[in-house]
Chain A
Amino acid sequence: MSSLRMTLATQMVLRSLLEKPAEKRYGLELCAEAGLQSGTVYPILTRLEQAGWVQSAWEDPEVHQSEGRPRRRYYTLSEEGAAQARQALAEISSRQARAIWARPRLQAERGQA
């Protein structure tokens, strides 16, 4: 597992994946859920897959053949990936919370100085 750069878009994708971690989702669905464009989501999915946070698999052939369309690639969070994603998001949110609390104190210190 490698450390990932947690950009805002990555966080959004991870949050949408974490909403239903066991559920399989395809790229377009993730784009809609995260509210991001495909050009942002696919590179993120690629990075997540390389880091081992996300697993992907092709759709069941019977389903796409019966619907008469090309097969889809479904993405799911791996167990380790889900744990790491939760941890990373929690770290970010605690850091943000700290930053919010620290701001008035810093401003007060600056004001005294």
Chain B
Amino acid sequence: MTTSGSRKERREAIRASLRVPLAALATDLRRVNADIHSSYGFDRHGRGTARLRVRRSVIRLKVVWRTLLAALMPAPAARFQVTFRSSRTAADRAEGRIARPLQIASCLLPAASRDRWAEEWRGELAVIRGRWRRLRWALSTLRGLVCQAYILRRSTRRSASSDEAITG
């Protein structure tokens, strides 16, 4: 997530980048306005020159308009006021949507080893880059979780029964 400080800085940068193109746009608008007004007063022979002048101004205006648009829209994020994250941090990846089903499914494991495995999987998820890769990894882990739960529970049961046998 972006902080308010960085947002403010970005806004300031956009404002600074807009100053020059806006001034140029205002000058050109004034010129075009003058050209259009002057072309009305021309006689039949002078109309062509006036049209050419207007066209030139319009072309110049288009260039300025494009510069202005580029300054206004440096990225879709700035245009729609959405904060996209270009690169997710390791912590984001570890706590993302894919980590939640694993967290829930870890309930299948014995209580003693639940947190340990959940933390280990979070650590692994943080390293995997790419949503699909993470998803594939999580699905595979979920598939193996049943087997893992069986192994861990069996050993827990065995140790409990051996303890009972020792205590009598």
Q: Which residues on A are within 8 Å of B, measured CB to CB?
A: 26-28, 37-43, 46-47, 50, 59, 64, 67-73
Contacts and interface: CB of A to CB of B under 8 A. Distances in A.
B120 A39 contact: no
The majority secondary structure among interface residues of chain B is helix
A37 B120 CA distance: 16
Given A38-B141, A47-B151, A50-B151, A72 B90 contact: no
Contact of A69 (B126, B142, B144, B155): B126
A27 B119 contact: no
Given A38-B137, A47-B151, A70 B144 contact: no
B94 interface: yes
B127 A39 contact: no
- 4 closest A-B pairs by beta carbon, nearest first, are A39-B144, A69-B90, A39-B140, A69-B126
A26 B155 contact: no
Contacts of B94: 69-70
Contacts, number: 72
Nearest to A45: B148
Given A68-B90, A69-B90, A42 B123 contact: no
B123 A39 contact: no
Contacts of A28: 124, 127-128, 137
Contacts of A73: 116, 119-120, 123
B58 interface: no
